[in-house]
């Protein structure tokens, strides 16, 4: 069976327009449905390079699904996903756009590093080996180079003294910091965090949030799904409130936590604090 075409007209008339310089992520009319159930209902979102955007909202609002669409772990039903100036999930062949083949998708996904709710570390590999694994597997560098960079990254997240520890020997906060270092090892353009502290107690959450704040301060572009409204208020440049698959409100922390915010947003953020 031949691969279905997405756009059938030649360039340039039907060609999607590349985002402006300085845009790290751009979502255009993003939609995702499972059968008759609409999960995302026309999301338009722009994330500038070097900024942190916090996605907040009630459970089931589509935040995690949106994040997974950015690196095509979930395939949108319609719309466009742009990361670092590249159209994710599509490839050009013969002047036309087609759904990207898996090897093309792997290249797209290298532009994003994702940190999940669960750590997903290899239990039989040391912290150092967990961080070094992906770059070696992807053929990006030698094992020695990957291990050297892994050591630097573990130091960055405060775990240089635990390089040789296995995941079961680490606390939950330490495991999540290893997961962050692992994502950084692929040198992504954008970091995606999906409720990275939801499985941790408050003390361990603070460890992880401190690392995330340091990343934000160094200019890493981050898209963060979180219920940590304190983090959103103090670290995020932009807060996006989602409900029922739509962006209901968006603005700076100053606006979103002010009396000028929509009542639904004020009630949610006030309750979550």
- Domain end marker among 170, 187, 204: 187
Q: What is the pLDDT of residues 160-189, one digit of tens each?
A: 999 999 999 999 999 999 999 999 999 999
33: domain CATH number? 3.40.50.300
**Are residue 37 and residue 151 in the same domain, yes or no?**
no
**Are residue 199 and residue 88 in the same domain, yes or no?**
yes
The structure tokens listed for 221 are 């572009």
CB 264 within 8 A of CB 248: yes
- Domain end marker among 167, 187, 207: 187
Task: For residue 121, give Cα distances in angstroms to 113, 134, 222.
Answer: 15, 11, 21
> Beta strand pairing status for 96-99 and 78-83?
unpaired
Gap between the Cα atoms of 216 and 213, Å rounded: 5
Q: Is the pTM of this model over 0.85?
A: yes
Residue range(s) defining the domain that contains residue 257: 1-111+190-273
Closest CA to 28 of 43, 15, 38: 43
**Are residue 174 and residue 211 in the same domain, yes or no?**
no
Q: What is the pLDDT of residues 213-261, one digit of tens each?
A: 999 999 999 999 999 999 999 999 999 999 999 999 999 999 999 999 9
**Are residue 142 and residue 49 in the same domain, yes or no?**
no
Number of folded domains that form the chain = 2
Instruction: Compute the C-alpha angle 36/40/46, nearest 5°.
Output: 160
**Are residue 23 and residue 105 in the same domain, yes or no?**
yes
Q: How confident is the model at residue 15 (pLDDT cuts 50, 70, 90)?
A: confident
**Are residue 170 and residue 226 in the same domain, yes or no?**
no
**Are residue 68 and residue 92 in the same domain, yes or no?**
yes
- Domain end marker among 187, 203, 236: 187
Q: What is the pLDDT of residues 67-92, one digit of tens each?
A: 999 999 999 999 999 999 999 999 98
**Are residue 151 and residue 249 in the same domain, yes or no?**
no
pLDDT of residue 273: 52
Closest CA to 228 of 204, 250, 246: 204
**Helices and strands in the chain: count of H runs, count of E runs:** 9, 12
**Are residue 88 and residue 136 in the same domain, yes or no?**
no
**Are residue 2 and residue 77 in the same domain, yes or no?**
yes
Q: Can you tell me the mean pLDDT for 13-22?
A: 83
**Are residue 194 and residue 183 in the same domain, yes or no?**
no
**Are residue 175 and residue 227 in the same domain, yes or no?**
no
């Amino acid at each position: 069976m031949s691969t279905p075409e997405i756009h059938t007209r030649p360039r340039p008339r039907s060609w999607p327009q590349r985002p402006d310089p300085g845009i790290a992520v751009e979502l255009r009319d993003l939609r995702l449905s499972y059968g008759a159930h609409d999960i995302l209902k026309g999301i338009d979102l722009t994330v500038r390079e070097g900024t942190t955007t916090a996605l907040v909202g009630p459970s089931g609002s589509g935040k995690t699904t949106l994040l997974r669409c950015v690196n095509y772990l979930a395939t949108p039903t319609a719309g466009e996903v742009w990361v670092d100036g590249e159209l994710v999930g599509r490839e050009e062949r013969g002047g036309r756009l087609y759904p990207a083949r898996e090897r093309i998708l792997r290249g797209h996904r290298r532009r994003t590093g994702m940190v999940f709710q669960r750590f997903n570390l290899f239990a039989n590999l040391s912290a150092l080996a967990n961080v070094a694994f992906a770059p070696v597997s992807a053929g990006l560098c030698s094992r020695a180079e990957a291990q050297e960079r892994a050591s630097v990254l573990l130091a960055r997240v405060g775990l240089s003294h635990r390089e040789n520890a296995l995941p079961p020997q680490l606390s939950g906060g330490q495991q999540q910091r290893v997961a962050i270092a692992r994502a950084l090892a692929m040198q992504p353009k954008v970091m995606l965090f999906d409720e990275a502290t939801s499985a941790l107690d408050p003390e361990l959450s603070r460890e992880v949030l401190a690392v995330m704040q340091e990343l934000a301060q160094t200019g890493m572009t981050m898209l963060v799904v979180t219920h940590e409204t304190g983090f959103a208020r103090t670290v995020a440049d932009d807060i996006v409130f989602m409900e029922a698959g739509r962006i209901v409100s968006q603005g700076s922390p100053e606006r979103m936590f002010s009396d000028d915010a929509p009542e639904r947003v004020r009630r949610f953020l006030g309750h979550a604090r």
